[in-house]
Structure 1
Amino acid sequence: MAKKILFRADGNTETGLGHLYRLFALVEIYKEQYQFVFLTKQNSILDIIPKDYLLATIPDEIKMSDEPQWIHSHFPPQKYILIADGYQFTATYQQQIKNRGYSLIYIDDLATDHMYADVVINHSPYIQEGHYKKEAYTRLALGTQYALLRPLFLESAKLNREVNSIHSAFVCFGGADPFNLTIKAVKALLEIQNFKNIYVVLGGAYKHDDIFKLEEEHSDRIKIYNNLSEDNLVKTMEQCNFAIAPASTILYELCCVKMPVLSGFYVDNQELIYKGFLNHNAIIDGGNFQNYQVSNFIDHLKLIVYNQQLNHYIMAQKALFDDKISERHLNIIKKL
């Protein structure tokens, strides 16, 4: 009898939601062939977890040092494979999981800790095997060949698209947007008359209110969406021909739909992804977003709207993703 998969990630206002969404992508690839349980801490934002997932929660009082034993008590390794995504799953944690007999797949984007997992997936186009310290048995699944993308985005990646002018912008800075870059980018777009429509997607952990006042003042140009479904997110992106977003999961999704993207980073885990997409000429270079003000976005936008060479970004984006991504992820499990 095939083992079940135990997906393990957390997401809240402090950590953001990226780790959850990356595992959602893998769930969608595996769920037709494997039974699974989605495991998260009680303090995660549970509302965003799809209702059809079999959900289990770890009590908040369970410390990370005690978690491997807690998992072993509830989900024995004879029945479960563990797939984990999050920075709390350190070398020590991985060792403890392996010592208890689990097959472990770890989703990484920092390449800092020594890896004890059976397989490490890092979908940054920048990362190489030499970046990793690992056990001899640890296999690496690196680059956009192993992109963590939901099914509709995998389908979008196969399609051709041309962008000959830009007038509709997409803005999303992830689940929490701790620097409130969303409103700075939107204010900048309002200053550029080319942009007739500005579509703003807010994450489940977004806590700033000022964007809604701006929407009231410019209701003819700004449309705000919260926690869009996969289908509605694709449709919203398809209405746009330009985007501003960080180098996180949302960038992969935008590059599947295909449009010029002003992208950068504001936390460490985004930097390697940013470098990879930049090296492939797939994004417009925004650099470090942490200290951006409205004026910084305006300076970029003034150059972008007069750039007639837009489709080379589209071609570079299309080259990053092929039609074998789901098959590769399925093969990872089969080889365990």
Structure 2
Amino acid sequence: MALHGKIIFRTDGGEKIGLNHLIRCAALAEMLREQYECMLAIRVPNPSALQLVGGVFHSIISLPDAENYDGDELISHLQAGDIVVLDGIQFQTDYQKKIREHCKIVCIDDLHSHHFVADAIINHAEGILPKDYSTDEHTRFYLGARYALIRQPFIKAAIENSSQSPAGELSIASRAMIHIGGNDFHNTTQKVLSALVKTEMINEIEIVVSKMNPNISLLEDFIYANRKTAKIMLCKNLPGDELCDLMKTCRYMICAANNVLYEACAVGIKIISGHISKTQQELLHGLVAKGVVNNFGNFLTEDENNLQSRFELFMNDETTWQQLSNQKLLIDGQSPVRLFEIFNKL
């Protein structure tokens, strides 16, 4: 099946930790699957999560649930010549050491919070430098948007977007998308939605959530109560191609600073973003510095009335069109070529 060998992606995703790690591993697997056999090793896989990404991997290794992460769960599945991709804060130094006794390791990282023994580190946040990490001497670094881990429909969109002019004042002018995250325990989606509706500046709003979101019934109630104010659609478990197509119909994107933020940059859209976890802060700050997104800070603590005022200012600010030009420079659609070379050199 594979020309270059086997890659085992070790990550988790579900109701407790969300889907971002899983989605970006799937994005990477999609880039590599024609040249490598790509397997997903995941603890107690959630059916809704696998619905979004399962088709990308050639096979799934279902690992048992356990309190600790020591690497033993994975070792029996490894063979000489395999490559393991680790994505998650739980895979720290001791875990990496144990796995590296058997094969090469690539770590996808957000936080540079511990010592790494990996052969390669991918961190697609802008502004991160090798000196920010503690690593062994053999570790190589692949940092910044040149290595953006975005799904195939968004790679194509970035290539198309690079040759197009900004949409301007077209029919999409009054459409917005809200995509806070897969789980959204705090129901930040509804707070953002309510603030946006109160601006009376958006006629159509697309809400994107996962089926694991515990607040779907509350969102449905809100949508029904405001059905005469705005046309609001609730979309659950959208695969990448459908999400990309829907994003192209919108003028504004309001999203947390996760992988979807990069995918929005690939499409070319006015973006408001904020963080809902510590792991998102560096990605957000790096993209703010590149002029591709407006930073609303901590979505969890931001007051709804303040959100409304900031939305109104943003949507009345014509200079925000510059975001679209900057996005073209940031995401060039060539990250699959660069990422393949990382694995080809291991």
- Calculate the TM-score normalised by the size of structure 2: 0.92
1:164–1:308 contact (8 Å) kept in structure 2: no
Name 2:177's counterpart in structure 1: 170
2:41–2:62 contact (8 Å) kept in structure 1: yes
Encode CA deviations 1:208-229: one digit per residue, 9 max, x unaligned. Answer: 1211112223345101100101
Selected match of 2:77 from 66, 74, 77: 74
1:320 aligns with 2:321: no
The amino acid of 2:220's aligned partner reads: F
C-alpha separation in 1, matches of 2:184 and 2:313: 25
2:52–2:239 contact (8 Å) kept in structure 1: no
1:332 aligns with 2:342: yes
1:255 aligns with 2:258: no
CA 1:52 to 1:157, structure 2 compared with 1: closer, same or farther past 3 Å?
A: closer
The amino acid of 2:109's aligned partner reads: D
Please state how far the C-alpha of 1:79 moved relative to its aligned partner.
4.3
1:23–1:85 contact (8 Å) kept in structure 2: yes
Please state how far the C-alpha of 1:48 moved relative to its aligned partner.
3.2
1:154 aligns with 2:174: no
Selected match of 1:6 from 5, 8, 22: 8
Superposed CA RMSD: 1.6
Encode CA deviations 1:1-46: one digit per residue, 9 max, x unaligned. Answer: 7321111110011111000000010110000111121110015444
Name 2:194's counterpart in structure 1: 187
The amino acid of 2:97's aligned partner reads: Q
1:2–1:34 contact (8 Å) kept in structure 2: yes
Name 2:23's counterpart in structure 1: 21
Please state how far the C-alpha of 1:302 moved relative to its aligned partner.
1.4
* Count of aligned pairs between the two proteins: 332
C-alpha separation in 2, matches of 1:2 and 1:253: 28
2:99–2:105 contact (8 Å) kept in structure 1: yes
C-alpha separation in 1, matches of 2:276 and 2:37: 36
After the TM superposition, which of the residue ranges 37-46 and 164-173 deviates more from structure 2? 37-46
Please show how residues 35-46 of structure 1 align to structure 2 within 5 Å: 35-42=37-44, 44=46, 45-46=49-50
Please show how residues 264-303 of structure 1 align to structure 2 within 5 Å: 264-303=274-313
C-alpha separation in 1, matches of 2:147 and 2:75: 28
Equivalent residue of 1:13, what SS?
Answer: coil
C-alpha separation in 1, matches of 2:153 and 2:225: 34
2:78–2:102 contact (8 Å) kept in structure 1: no
After the TM superposition, which of the residue ranges 48-57 and 255-264 deviates more from structure 2? 48-57
The amino acid of 2:204's aligned partner reads: N
Please state how far the C-alpha of 1:314 moved relative to its aligned partner.
0.5
Name 1:61's counterpart in structure 2: 66
Equivalent residue of 2:333, what SS?
Answer: coil
C-alpha separation in 1, matches of 2:10 and 2:236: 24
Name 1:32's counterpart in structure 2: 34
CA 1:297 to 1:236, structure 2 compared with 1: closer, same or farther past 3 Å?
A: same
CA 1:52 to 1:313, structure 2 compared with 1: closer, same or farther past 3 Å?
A: closer
Please state how far the C-alpha of 1:51 moved relative to its aligned partner.
3.7
C-alpha separation in 2, matches of 1:161 and 1:102: 46
The amino acid of 1:187's aligned partner reads: S
2:21–2:88 contact (8 Å) kept in structure 1: yes
After the TM superposition, which of the residue ranges 18-27 and 187-196 deviates more from structure 2? 187-196
CA 1:21 to 1:260, structure 2 compared with 1: closer, same or farther past 3 Å?
A: same
Please state how far the C-alpha of 1:254 moved relative to its aligned partner.
0.8
Selected match of 2:219 from 187, 204, 211: 211
C-alpha separation in 1, matches of 2:17 and 2:297: 22
C-alpha separation in 2, matches of 1:277 and 1:331: 25
The amino acid of 2:110's aligned partner reads: D
The amino acid of 1:240's aligned partner reads: C
C-alpha separation in 2, matches of 1:79 and 1:118: 14
Encode CA deviations 1:60-102: one digit per residue, 9 max, x unaligned. Answer: 137312xx233222222x042101111111111111111x221
2:205–2:232 contact (8 Å) kept in structure 1: yes
Encode CA deviations 1:270-315: one digit per residue, 9 max, x unaligned. Answer: 0000110111111112012221232121011110121122320101
Percent of pairs with identical residues: 28
Equivalent residue of 1:310, what SS?
Answer: helix
Q: Which runs of 5+ in 2 are unaligned?
A: none
C-alpha separation in 2, matches of 1:69 and 1:41: 13
The amino acid of 1:10's aligned partner reads: D
The amino acid of 1:167's aligned partner reads: S
Name 1:48's counterpart in structure 2: 52
C-alpha separation in 1, matches of 2:94 and 2:25: 22
Name 2:89's counterpart in structure 1: 87
